[in-house]
Amino acid sequence: MRTETDQTIYLKDYAPSPYLIERVELDVRFEESETRVRALLTILPNRDTEPGTPLVLDGDELTLDTIAIDGLPLVLSAYAATPDALTLMEPPHRRFVLETEVRLTPETNTRLMGLYRSNGVWCTQCEPEGFRRITYFLDRPDILSTYKVTMTADRALAPILLSNGNPSGGGDAGDGRHYAVWEDPFPKPAYLFALVAGDLAAIHDSFTTASGRKVALAIYCEHGKQEQCAYAMDALKRSMAWDERRFGLEYDLDVFNIVAVSDFNFGAMENKGLNIFNDKLVFARPETATDVDYAGIESVIAHEYFHNWTGNRITCRDWFQLCLKEGLTVYRDQEFTMDERSRPVARIEDVRKLRATQFPEDGGPLAHPARPDNYREINNFYTATVYEKGAEIVRMLATLLGEAGFRKGMDLYFERHDGDATTIEAFIAVFAEASGRDLSQFEQWYLQAGTPDLEVGETWDEATRRYSLSFRQRTRPTPGQPEKAPMVIPVRFGLVGPNGSDMGWSGVSGGRVESDLIVLEDGETTITFEGVASRPVPSLLRGFSAPVNLTSSLGQAEKLFLARHDADPFNRWQALQDVAMKLIIDAVDGAALSTADADAFTDALVETLGAEGLDDAFKAHALTLPAETDIARIIGKSVDPDAIHAARQSLIAAISERAGHALGEAYDARSADTPYSPGAAEAGRRALRNTVLGLLVRGGAPGAAARATTQYHEAGNMTDRLAALSSAVAAWTGDAQALLEDFRTHHTADPLVYDKWLAANAIAPHGGTLERLRAILADPDFPRNNPNRLRALVGSFANANPTQFGRADGAGFRFVTDFVADVDRRNPNVAARVLTAFRVWRTYEPGRREAAERALRGLAEAGGLSRNTADILARTLD
Ligand code: 0A1
Ligand code: ZN
């Protein structure tokens, strides 16, 4: 394993590879305890390569068995082979075929990178650098090759043999064995390579593309789980149709296969024609999956499918460009969800995720630009910044260029770069060219880390009917970037008049205003509107048109006015969040919760609850107070998680006391027990009902705890059962412990439901939580190598239980660092990711800050960490 002594890699050092690999022919033979990989690589020198330039192929824990060039075995002095590199001292200065053979033991591969076994099934994960764990290769994304793969295995052990591209033969191999051949005609980087071999069941379907080609679709899974794949299949077909409708993009192979595996480091992987999925993002049935699970499946199926064009047909030149495929593909999957479900609700959910995951990253020691310029371990850059902020950047581009302008740029991107491994610069250039705009300042969004703070002030002159908005933007320093340039910030807006409608104006000066869009380009900008009929309430950043922290001088009453009247539903939601945030923060600061203000807020909530024309899913978000971690982020320093918990709790209690009746009625009105359907409207109804239940239970409303217990027992689906359990656990009602035990006894035979039980235990804001988690981990039967189980238990604890992770005695911190030290030996990816929860450690009050630092330093001093974990640790402590 590569360790902490490794070097930093810089974007400025990028150079084309001296050799290219045109064609790859792999012969993979699976045996019970080892796998043999014979590779025939057709290699040629790149254009400017001098004769005699050594060829260095990447490896990772490989052992070379044989080596030949054009069929002739190599003498020892012609090459050097170590586990992590194969060097040919003086390769031929012409096209030649390198033949190597290596032996692998996927059975012992607990890192889940390269070839490994999950539940007996052989499968692979090659992004970003896993292919080098399968064979010696130029394992970098700008090496594009066509692949032919022959797989041979025992027919009983692995009746299913899959790889990328189209099937192109197979048959009996004698001795109870069989083989299959796959050909992928599209040149691809090695990170998109995949293999699956095992005894799998499947569901089959087909899709006919707009141009009339019939594509065979299949989802493979463990036997008995086929029916649970139906929703994923439906989502796949809808994704294929959407990409044709929205972007004119058709699928390009004869088959599209998805395989669900139970051991997987991330969500899913877009391997060409053979997507491999974490099974939690495939399996769904009402008794085991929640509405949130269904929505997650739909969006990740779409995400991986959309990669076929944004990622596979056009890929990244190097890993610094990861955002080129990820930001764009997240934008595309977000748009898909918006078109399939409710646009404002989807936007609220995306922004909540952005603020919960990316904003703390951008404001802490792990901040990095969406297009980083250096890394020590690329696996640590699959971050919310690359994915979620990357999507926000594309969204701003679409906002600035308008729908038609954006589509024109996308069309040009596909026309010009299909088949390329390219860069962010090339991506920006097509939009500049298609629109005729100068996007050089806009490019800063990819280069500069940190979330801009945007402050707004206003002036109104009754006599002249002139209204001005003054903006000041500032981005705080981030690691390696002390100075920040002003950004292009698109601010969608309206000036809301006294009757709640947007007002017009007769003239505008001082900056760029394009109908309902203000485009800020400078550090300070004052925009003056002439001829405004009366003093407006400004509604700014509608639809969250830029990923910034907006602060304005609006008071609570004006915010509540927007909450009631804004034409933009996102800003109605945002206004309620802002009001709640201020109430809670004032209470954290020591003032008792202001009753008058809390009452006014509660009345606005009740009004929203009863409003016509707003869907239940929206109302559920409106009734969800900012999370404790969100409040901590806004407070930003001397954070005391217990004080935040208590302040938020006091607001919940006030709401539940004043609005108990209305909430109870809303709950009852949505209790109809119709057969479960995962559609947006039904899911919205359940979301609202369960949000209301949560408020009543946590608020200590009379009878609420009993209502949660009843709902738990009577629930006809997992959404309602888990919501009832979570409410009981969050409030630690008298029944909480018994409900946890009941859930464990009756519902956790399915590993994905067991995860829900682990997470429910982990997020209890209760003094006994740590003891319970220790006991669960100490159980010898706990599946300690499965990433889903580990993340459900410890990931949920570290990221979603602020009071117990942040215990004043430091026990929560030590629990997590001990866990990281242990898991790091087996799976560095999982360990490093869990460790990122410490990115907030400097924002704690002094006692907790010291405790967190002690735990982190203890981990560093113990040494022996993987490069993944050592990198996160070093940057966190920096
Ligand atoms: N490209 C995948 C994400 C992914 C990245 C790394 C993995 O293993 C280390 C697995 C998946 C996506 O965006 O979905
Ligand atoms: Zn992706």
For residue range 545-599, list pLDDT tens digits in order. 999 999 999 999 999 999 999 999 999 999 999 999 999 999 998 888 889 999 9
Helix H or strand E encompassing 616: helix 616-622
Residue type for position 496: V
Q: How far is the CA of 564 from the centre of ligand 2 (A)?
A: 38
Q: How far is the CA of 207 from the centre of ligand 2 (A)?
A: 23
pLDDT, averaged across the chain: 97
Q: How far is the CA of 742 from the centre of ligand 2 (A)?
A: 38
Between strands 214-221 and 255-261, the pairing is parallel
Residue type for position 332: R
- Whether 82 shows a pLDDT value over 90: the answer reads yes
- Whether 858 shows a pLDDT value over 70: the answer reads yes
User: How does DSSP classify residue 319?
Assistant: G
Q: How far is the CA of 846 from the centre of ligand 1 (A)?
A: 37
Among protein residues, the one whose CA lies closest to atom 6 of ligand 1: 127
Give yes or no: 127 in active site.
no
Average pLDDT of the segment spanning 799-826: 98
Q: How far is CA 518 from the centre of its chain?
A: 30
Across the beta sheet with 255-261, the strand order is 201-208, 214-221, 255-261, 274-278, 268-269
DSSP-derived secondary structure for 139-157: -STT--EEEEEEEEEETTT
| Pair of tokens at residue 192 | 């998109």
- Tell me how far apart the terminal alpha carbons of the chain are, to the nearest angstrom: 24
Kindly report whether the peptide bond that precedes residue 626 is cis, defined as omega within 30 degrees of 0: no
Average pLDDT of the segment spanning 494-521: 98
pLDDT of residue 672: 74
- Identify the CA nearest to 145 among candidates 13, 259, 17, 12: 17
Which is the closest atom of ligand 1 to the Cα of 130?
9
Ligand nearest to the CA of 269: 1
Average pLDDT of the segment spanning 512-530: 98
Percent of the chain at pLDDT exceeding 70? 99
Q: How far is the CA of 49 from the centre of ligand 2 (A)?
A: 34
Among protein residues, the one whose CA lies closest to atom 2 of ligand 1: 269
pLDDT of residue 6: 66
Which of 266, 325, 866 to mutate for ligand 1's pocket (most ligand atoms within 8 Å of CB)?
266
pLDDT of residue 137: 99
- Whether 679 shows a pLDDT value over 70: the answer reads yes
Out of 99, 127, 129, 304, pick the active-site residue.
Answer: 304
pLDDT of residue 3: 47
Average pLDDT of the segment spanning 395-399: 98
Q: How confident is the model at residue 674 (pLDDT cuts 50, 70, 90)?
A: confident
Which of 272, 382, 385 to mutate for ligand 1's pocket (most ligand atoms within 8 Å of CB)?
382
Which of 263, 269, 315 to mutate for ligand 1's pocket (most ligand atoms within 8 Å of CB)?
269
- Whether 867 shows a pLDDT value over 70: the answer reads yes
Q: How far is the CA of 193 from the centre of ligand 2 (A)?
A: 15
- Identify the CA nearest to 324 among candidates 391, 377, 268: 391
The per-residue pLDDT for range 87-127, each reduced to its tens digit, is: 999 999 999 999 999 999 999 999 999 999 999 999 999 99
Q: How far is the CA of 203 from the centre of ligand 2 (A)?
A: 24
- Ligand 1-lining residues (CB < 6 angstroms): 125, 127, 265-270, 303-304, 326, 379, 382, 829
- Whether 673 shows a pLDDT value over 80: the answer reads no
- Whether 10 shows a pLDDT value over 90: the answer reads yes
- Whether 849 shows a pLDDT value over 90: the answer reads yes
- Whether 509 shows a pLDDT value over 50: the answer reads yes
pLDDT of residue 208: 99
Rounded Cα gap, residues 357 and 287, in angstroms = 29
Average pLDDT of the segment spanning 482-486: 98
Which of 125, 127, 131, 139 to mutate for ligand 1's pocket (most ligand atoms within 8 Å of CB)?
127
Q: 3-class DSSP state for residue 341? A: coil
Rounded Cα gap, residues 65 and 528, in angstroms = 75
Q: How many CA atoms lie within 13 A of 756 on its CB side?
A: 28
pLDDT of residue 445: 99
What ipTM does the predicted assembly reach?
0.98
| Pair of tokens at residue 52 | 């005699």
The per-residue pLDDT for range 211-267, each reduced to its tens digit, is: 999 999 999 999 999 999 999 999 999 999 999 999 999 999 999 999 999 999 999
Rounded Cα gap, residues 381 and 597, in angstroms = 43
Polymer length of the chain? 878
pLDDT of residue 1: 45
- Identify the CA nearest to 727 among candidates 694, 702, 766: 694
Ligand nearest to the CA of 116: 1
pLDDT of residue 4: 44
| Burial label, 535 (beta-carbon count in 10 A; 0-12, 13-18, 19+) | middle
Q: How confident is the model at residue 743 (pLDDT cuts 50, 70, 90)?
A: very high
- Whether 814 shows a pLDDT value over 50: the answer reads yes
Average pLDDT of the segment spanning 515-538: 98
Find out whether 306 and 236 touch, Cβ atoms under 8 Å.
no
Phi, psi angle pair for 573, to nearest 5°: -65, -45
Which is the closest atom of ligand 1 to the Cα of 325?
13
pTM: 0.98
Question: Who surrounds ion ligand 2 at CB < 5 A?
Answer: 326, 329
Among protein residues, the one whose CA lies closest to atom 5 of ligand 1: 127
Ligand nearest to the CA of 275: 1
Q: How far is the CA of 685 from the centre of ligand 2 (A)?
A: 30
